[in-house]
Amino acid sequence: MAKEIERKFLVKSTKYRELAEPITFSQGYISRVPGKIVRVRLAGEQGFITIKGISAGYERDEFEYEIPSADARQILDKFCEKPLIEKTRRTITFKDKIWIVDEFEAENEGLVVAEIELESSDETFEKPAWLGCEVTSNPRYYNSHLVVNPYKDWR
């Protein structure tokens, strides 16, 4: 079974922008039932479908498969809750670890989150200077929650 072990942080500066080229993402949710999340994503010109289980600490089951981009566009349009999650992503290597930084747009404009995927829950890592506080355990920052409670409404 595939496992995702992930930690999530807010980002406090824009210094990460000079470290990687951006890729645009659109993603939507077919199901947001806890423990049965089904997401479709268009990352640049690549389509993906992902199924995620319930979180236990930093871990959860995750299955992700590439699908044709035309199929991803159709599914996003016809089957996913609106609004879609729109964001720009940068993939950055720091101290031999891969960091993903997402700058949210549209309904979630102004929110910037970084995440790191780990091999184990107790794995240690060094944090880049542009990281802010950790939000791993706060469901408010889950992409699936941003669909129904967008960042623009938090203020």
Residues annotated as catalytic are: 29
Q: Where do the H-state alpha helices sit in the chain?
A: 69-78, 143-146
CA dihedral 75, 77, 83, 87 (to 10 degrees): 70
Contacts of 132 (CB under 8 A, 6+ apart): 9, 10, 11, 12
Closest residue by Cα to residue 84 from 30, 33, 122: 30
- Written as six digits, the tokens of 57 are 């600490």
